[in-house]
Structure formats: structure tokens, C-alpha cells
Amino acid sequence: MSLEIINTPIFATIQDKGRFSYTHIGVTHAGVMDEYAYYIANMLLGNKKDENIIEIAFSNVEFKANTNTQIAVTGAFCEIFINNEAKNSWQTHNLKVGDIVKIGKFLEGSKVYLAVKDGFKIKKEFGSYSTTIKENLGGLNANRLQKGDVLKINSHNLFHTSRLKKSFHPKYEDTLLLRVVLSYQDEYFSDKEKQKFFSSEFTVSNEFNRMGCKLKGEAIKCDIDGIVSEGISFGAIQIPSDGQPIILLKDRQTIGGYPKIGSVLSIDCFKLAQAKPNTKIRFKQISIEKAQKKLKEFYNSFN
Amino acid sequence: MKIKVASVDSLIIYFGDKIDKDIAKKVKNAYLCIKKLNLDGIIEIVPSYTSILITYDIFTYDYETIKIKLEELINLDETQEDNSKLITIDVYYGTEVGLDLQSMSEKTGLSIEQIIKIHSEKTYDVYAIGFLPGFGYLASVDDRIALPRLSTPRKSIPKGSVAIANTQTAVYPQASPGGWNIVGRTAFDFFDKNLETLSPISVGDRVKFNPISKEQFLKQGGVL
């Protein structure tokens, strides 16, 4: 009972919420880049909230069902074909033995999530299913999915289809407004530089991966060149000496020595995860109280 | 001690702003203290040279509450029971694995034997862990052999390489790009999936390097 990968995916990995409590020895958090799409996919299937999932970062993944099951596809709007018949995302699909599923072109957004009923039957490593290739941890053999990989699953029959209401579908827009709490070294950025940071428009560069997202735009100057290396939070905004911000994401290094002006609210990092090179970015300051309220609302909405 | 917001669900405690043994001692003391408190809703505690990053559950604490709680509970005056370890690492300092020994000898005017002696006679403190899992930043290297990073980093440094950058020394726990000066190699695993803790070292531990022969290195499973 399994799903079998039948083409060569460019970059698809098994992820979950992430690997926690090993940061102090340098192990990154990992986990899905877009938690919204992740929770919805598992919710549609009635899975455990933190069940594992496939994160697909580039188009064209094909697999074959070797058993009856149900899948959910969320995240980037993309072509989905089951035995060459076009299907929609943000809903579940029933599969029968022998069905061929193809995730084709991405139309809007940049990360597709594919969940299966009851999750993939693989072993957790250090508390998580998440794959971090450079740490040789998690996933299937700690690697991206390869042609011929067989992912064990449970067999399921006769499900009604669940869909996410259209009004809850995300919009992957060309301009993103990211909310930022000032933090870390913010006092080493003058009022003028902070004002520049919050009023300029930046662009997502090609240096955008699971570790982080480098932006292009007007250079932001910090009064200090570097700091003694310290722990880095999800969403932290590093300003290296070239003044181009780097937003640190799920596979970020655990400590680092660049000054940081603040941190992007996690929920907005999930939106950033769906951006592409040339997406426009603006920042808006938010208080820590408001940020925590927003994040609680986000997590509460899945309960 | 100064507590600041780090992100929506994390805060950072600063004990100073430079690499310094006394500041590191405060970090270690506070780190042990926070671990001992074993508070609910603390997700991560990441000590480094001058700071501790704490990630917390925002459903348990808001920022002000956890900040006040930590200010109250961290007592820097009370010395914590120190369960840190002294770890001895066997190192083969041959020139076929100590890729920069020759150039270091030329740059410092010291013989290779002297460089090995200077590097291995000191006991180092683990100031921080990061960059790679199990990559411990150890200090302080004797000034006579404290050479800066290579101007062009290597594309791949072999696993187990023992290296120096300025006054810091470290062991590469896995093959990785890097620009540190390589003086030798060890068969000791700094990142081991068979360990419950994943890595044998913690911030605050001490490390001493012990020179061994090529034969001993190979016998320990070392790879040239």
C-alpha cells in the first residue's frame, strides 16, 4: 500500500511543522514553508493537525497510487491531473489503485502541498518528519523525493470530497505587505534608516530558498558592521553590509552574526513562502502585542 | 542582563556585547538556571557567546509576562551546579589531513611541531554551537597560531577536519564548504544520530585535543 513517484521531481520533500528543541546544537527548525496550506490540507483529510506532507517547490511531480486512498492538494494554484483529467486544488481527491496523479504547471504561488489520508508511514527523526538534506535528517532517506521512491500509506475507500470554501482560498499577489516587529539590533538603525526600511519597496531576488529570501532595494545602513553570533528566529531580517535585507525562513542557520532590524510576523512569512522572484515587498511595523494577537488568531482558526 | 524582543514568539537575553570569558560564564550560568527551572511553554533555549535566545509558546505567555518571569527567576549571583564535561578529542595532525599546516608554518615562522604543540596543549571552552549541527565554536586559540580565514574558502572540507580561524578553533562535523585553516583530522563524531542528544557537546563544555599517530587514527576508523 503506497504511492510511488514515477518521474524525477526537481525539489519535493517530506515536511511537517518542524524539528524543535535541537537548535542549541545547531539543528535547524525545518518544516513547511507555508503553514496555512499545510494545516488546511491535513484538515480537509481529517488528519492529525501535525501530520506529514509533501512540499513541492517546482512544477511536475507524477506518482502512481498502489492502493485506494485520498489526497488533498493545497498551496500554489497548479494544474492537477488524475489519469489526465483536470482537477482543482484546495480540495480532496479519491484515488483508486493504478491512478496516475500529475501535479503540473504552477499558475499562482510557488509551493504546492500534497497530503495523504493518515499521512505517509515513515519514521520520525528527532521528533519530526521534516527533511533537511544538509543535516541528513528526516524525510525519506533524508533526501528530496526521487523517481522510484515508494511512500507507504494506509488503504482507504469511499470518501466524500472536502473542499475549502472559496472565500478562504489565499490570494498570491504580486505585492506583499509584511508586518515586522522591531527587535534584536533595531537601536543600531537610525530613525532615517528605519523610515527608509518601512517606506521603500523591495523585490524578491533569485536568492530565495528554504533557508531564506534575499531582497533587492534601497540599501539599509546599520551603525554597526557585525555582531557577536547569536540565535536567529524564524522571520528575522538580517541586514548585511550591502544593505539588502535577508528574511530568514525555515531552514535558516541557527546562529549568525549579521545585524537584524526586526522579524517578520510568522503568518506573513507563510505568505512570503508563496512569493516568486520579482514579487514586490513592503514592510509595516506592528507592536509585539498586536503580533502575538494575530498569531494566536491564526492558530486558533485551525482548532 | 537585558531582555529584548527577537520575534513574535521569541526573546533574546543579552549579557554583554563582546567575546569574553566572563560574559560566557554568565551565559552558561543563566542557561543552566533556565534549564533547571524547566518552565512550561519554553520551546527552545539557544545559548551563544553573549546571549540566550528563547522561543516560547505564546498561548502560555505573552512577551511582558515571560520577560518579567525570567527577570525574576534568573539569578546570576547563584552559581549553578556545573555538569559540563571535559571532552578529549584524538587528532591526527599529519600534513596529508592538516591541509594548512605547511602554509601556517610559513606564515607564523613556527615549525609544524610547534603549531601542533600550541594547538593541543590548551583546553578550550565551547562558546557557541551552530553553522552546522554539532559545529562548536571553541576558544581561545593562542595568538601565535590565530590566523585569519583563508581568502578563498574551500568548496569542501572533509568531515572531522580540525580547524582554526583567528582565536577560534572547531571540528567540521560533516563535509562542508569552509574557509578555516585545517590543522588535522579526528575520527570523533560531533553529530551522531545514535546519541539521544544528537551531539556530544554543549555550550559550556571544555574540549582538549590529543595528538595521535596515523596508525591510531586509522584504527579509530579515521579516513585519510
Domain ranges of chain B: 2-73, 86-219
CATH topology for B2-73 is Gyrase A; domain 2 (3.30.1360)
Q: Are the CB atoms for A254 and A230 separated by under 8 Å?
A: no
> For A25, which of B9, B48, B129 is closest by C-beta distance?
B129
Whether residues A143 and A104 fall in one domain: yes
In angstroms, the CA B195 to CA A144 distance is 24
Position A173 scores a pLDDT of 92
Numbers of helices and strands, H then E, in chain A: 4, 18
Domain that holds residue A130: 2-168
**Residues in chain A closer than 8 A to B174 (CB atoms):** 136
**Confidence bin at B41 (pLDDT 50/70/90):** very high
- Cβ pair A233:B203 closer than 8 A: no
**Residues in chain B closer than 8 A to A235 (CB atoms):** 7-8
**Residues in chain A closer than 8 A to B18 (CB atoms):** 228
Name the minimum distance, in Å, from the CA of A258 to any CA of chain B: 13
A285 touches chain B (CB under 8 A): no
Whether residues A127 and A179 fall in one domain: no
**Residues in chain B closer than 8 A to A295 (CB atoms):** 8-9, 58
- ipTM of this predicted complex? 0.95
- Cβ pair A228:B17 closer than 8 A: yes
- pLDDT at B76 > cutoff 90: no
What are the residue ranges of helices labelled H in chain B?
A: 21-37, 63-73, 101-108, 112-121, 214-219
Ranges of chain A with pLDDT below 70? 158
Q: Taking the complete model, does pTM exceed 0.90, yes or no?
A: yes
C-alpha Rg value of chain A to the nearest Å: 20
In angstroms, the CA B133 to CA B139 distance is 18
Closest chain B residue to A266, measured at CA: B8
What are the pLDDT digits (tens) for A214-248? 999 999 999 998 899 999 999 999 999 899 999 99
Whether residues A115 and A139 fall in one domain: yes
Whether residues A55 and A164 fall in one domain: yes
The domain that contains A180 carries what CATH number? Answer: 2.40.100.10
What are the pLDDT digits (tens) for B3-21? 999 999 999 999 998 888 8
Interface test with B, best of A20, A24, A263 (most B CBs within 10 A): A24
- pLDDT at B131 > cutoff 90: no
Position A154 scores a pLDDT of 93
- Cβ pair A231:B202 closer than 8 A: no
In angstroms, the CA A114 to CA A119 distance is 10
Whether residues A163 and A180 fall in one domain: no
Residue B114, exposed/middle/buried by CB under 10 A (0-12, 13-18, 19+)? middle
Whether residues A215 and A195 fall in one domain: yes
- Cβ pair B130:A135 closer than 8 A: no
For domain B86-219, give the CATH number.
Answer: 2.40.100.10
- Cβ pair A23:B17 closer than 8 A: no
B42 touches chain A (CB under 8 A): no
- pLDDT at B193 > cutoff 90: no
Task: Give me the percent of chain B exceeding a pLDDT of 70.
Answer: 99
**Confidence bin at B197 (pLDDT 50/70/90):** confident
Interface test with A, best of B5, B7, B46, B64 (most A CBs within 10 A): B7
- pLDDT at B177 > cutoff 90: no
Position A160 scores a pLDDT of 87
Number of domains in chain A: 2
**Residues in chain B closer than 8 A to A259 (CB atoms):** none
Residue A166, exposed/middle/buried by CB under 10 A (0-12, 13-18, 19+)? exposed
Whether residues A88 and A180 fall in one domain: no
Restricting to B residues 171-200, those with a Cβ less than 8 Å away from any Cβ of A are 174, 191, 193, 197-199
Position B75 scores a pLDDT of 74
CB within 8 A of B21, min separation 6: which ones? B125
Whether residues A161 and A185 fall in one domain: no
Position B92 scores a pLDDT of 98
- Cβ pair B63:A289 closer than 8 A: yes
Whether residues A144 and A232 fall in one domain: no
Position B66 scores a pLDDT of 97
- Cβ pair B6:A255 closer than 8 A: no
- Cβ pair A24:B203 closer than 8 A: yes
Backbone angles phi, psi at A99, to 5 degrees: -65, 140
Cell 566572563, residue?
B22
* Extended beta strands in B40-160, E state: 42-47, 51-56, 86-92, 123-129, 136-139, 154-157
Whether residues A6 and A45 fall in one domain: yes
Whether residues A163 and A52 fall in one domain: yes
Whether residues A85 and A217 fall in one domain: no
Closest chain B residue to A224, measured at CA: B17
